[in-house]
Amino acid sequence: MLQPPPLDGDREQLQKSDLRWNMSRWAVTHPSFVWFLMIAVSIAGIAAYLRMGRAEDPSFTIKNSVVTVGWPGATPDEMQRFVAQKIEDKIRETPKLDFILTYCIADRMVSIVQLKESVRGKEVSDIWYQLRKKLSDIRGDLPSELIGPIVDDEFGDVYSGIFAFTGEQFTYAELKRICEQARRRLLKLQDVEKVDIIGAQQEQIIVEFSHRKLSTLGITPQQIFDSISRQSAMLRSGSIDTSEDRIHIRVAKNFDGIAEIEAVPVEAAGKVFRLGDVASVRRGYETPANHLAFFNGKPAVSVGVVMSKGGNVLALGEAMNEALSDIRKQVPEGVQIETVSFQPRVVEASVGEFLKSFLEALVIVLVVSFLSLGLRTGIVVALCVPLVLALSFAVMQSIGMNLDRITLGALILALGLLVDDAIIAVEMMAVKLEQGWNRLDAATFAWTSTAFPMFSGTLITIAGFLPVGFASSTSGEYAGGIFWVVGITLTASWLVAVIFTPMLGVSLLPDRGNHSNHGNDQVFQTVFHRSLRRAIRAAVTYPWLVVLITFLMFLAAVFGMTKLQQQFFPRSSRTELLVDVHMNQGSSIGATEEMIHRVEGKLDPYLPKSLRPTNDEAVAGEVLHYA
């Protein structure tokens, strides 16, 4: 049986195309340079992956600030009339302001300032700077006894590690001094922005006296206050000029211990008394306390480490573990250092999940490619995956992107898309080689017939993520990396498909010279292709049925979407439970502390033994109260 003459439409299309702009032909005709590019991209990708910052969440700007004013002895009504109204009027001059929420309690006023969702990045810090300036301008119009206004806008700080220092035989002051030593050690670590001490109690020197005793001696409380103030005042004592130098004379005014305070002279009615003879002097803490911290029910002072923007939290985790090992050797016996939260462990799990998903996707691609395309074609497709990722990592690292839950999620999402272009290009080459074309023409025709359709598909897929990338909201700022990562990855996939894939195909695809007499349609006579043609003919013959089935599937999708849970991100899988306890307005911190201990007691029996606190993973309760 005679074969039909070979069709030459594809060759005519190749001859009519402008080969000067054919990137695939250029790649095949410059093999040395292209192989060098492959090696360079691979090395750059590996280096970028190792140097990229690691974090749990991407950086985004918190658009809230809290303005706090203290006025000891003021009632809520006085705070409202003399302080809150003036401060609110000034805050309303803040640009891009959304709303203000103010509440006044005894001795304190708090205003929560919220900016519009469209504000981003550096503009937010500039607005808070302007807010501080405006509040400073009205400081003279407010009562002189005010403490503040204080603007707190550091809500974006995330602790990479929180470590609790406890010791039954140690006071809060001793634990605080130990934490300060640990703080100085941790501040020396690379990528550490700051280290906060959490739960430290403010030390005070308490002077107690009996009014009856003072009356008997003819001493007023003000005389005691004046004597202490004069003794501790920092005043210039003078200087002596010589022929060469100026020598400053200073009189020591600093108290060094309780004994020196007790020795302060108090003059009354022509007599001089020692302060220790008329009053009791002792050390103590601020009462009532502003906040208390407990770890497993024990009083604690904690240290929180904040990583600098763009840092590698995995490297920081190793450095923190090493530093803590040194700190544990230096602290006094009886002080325990426990890990409350350790973010590097969470990030390491996220990166491990990506690597696991990547390997699974690569195995799936290999299996499917080998089964459907053959051994050598499957190898070409498999080699394109690490090249695409390497090029993507190099670009991401150069523009300052980190590996976090957003970028990792986008990379996992893109794994299923980045091999499409390579499969199309190498399959076109394989078909043309089956038809008897030489390797150069097969690679050239892959560009001519598929490059621009692939590029159009890439742009359409990237455009689907545009709303996330350019959303003027906090959600868009947080999740905008999805658009950029998918865009970078798919663009890299297209470049690899039109430059590297033809070179790999020329090197690895089998020689099909013995098929030179086959017609152009000979390779499409398999069982699969014949079944596909029958399905296409049926769809064209009965278009109304295809439209009906499509419409029914659309309705089913809409119905199914209504049954799905509506949330922007899935719930966190971290083994943590946060309990917020709201007490009645004006409750004392003692009542709050008692309630927290009761909550901890209720939770403890339900905590599985496998989740009970260890040195690496623990449950902490923290009591916060603002008077």
Mean pLDDT of 311-316: 80
- What are the structure tokens assigned to 266, written together? 């108090």
Residue 435 pLDDT grade (very low, low, confident, very high; cuts 50, 70, 90) = confident
Mean pLDDT of 272-290: 75
pLDDT of residue 240: 78
Contact (Cβ atoms closer than 8 angstroms) between residue 384 and residue 419:
yes
- What are the structure tokens assigned to 481, written together? 């990396």
Contact (Cβ atoms closer than 8 angstroms) between residue 479 and residue 48:
no
pLDDT of residue 524: 60
pLDDT of residue 384: 84
DSSP element (H, E) containing 457: helix 439-463
Identify the weakest region by mean pLDDT among 161-170, 185-194, 446-455: 446-455
The Cα–Cα gap between 423 and 406 comes to 27
Identify the weakest region by mean pLDDT among 247-261, 306-320, 327-341: 247-261
Residue that the structure tokens 């095949």 belong to: 28
Residue that the structure tokens 């809230």 belong to: 64
pLDDT digits (tens, 9 = 90+) for 137-180: 888 788 877 887 888 887 767 788 888 888 888 888 888 888 88
The Cα–Cα gap between 226 and 268 comes to 12
pLDDT digits (tens, 9 = 90+) for 499-524: 888 888 777 777 655 544 445 555 56
Identify the weakest region by mean pLDDT among 282-291, 300-309, 325-334, 605-614: 605-614
> How high does pLDDT run on average in the chain?
77
pLDDT of residue 599: 81
64-70/239-241 β-pairing? unpaired
The Cα–Cα gap between 413 and 421 comes to 16
The Cα–Cα gap between 289 and 294 comes to 14
Instruction: Enumerate long-range contacts of 6-12, CB under 8 Å, 24 or more apart.
Output: 6/435, 6/518, 6/519, 6/520, 7/519, 7/520, 7/521, 9/520, 10/432, 10/445, 10/449, 10/520, 11/441
pTM of this structure: 0.69
pLDDT digits (tens, 9 = 90+) for 585-613: 767 777 887 888 888 777 777 665 544 44
The Cα–Cα gap between 115 and 472 comes to 13
Q: Which amino acid is at 31?
A: P
Instruction: Enumerate long-range contacts of 351-359, CB under 8 Å, 24 or more apart.
Output: 351/54, 351/314, 351/403, 351/408, 353/408, 354/403, 354/408, 354/411, 354/412, 357/412, 357/415, 358/389, 358/411, 358/412, 358/415
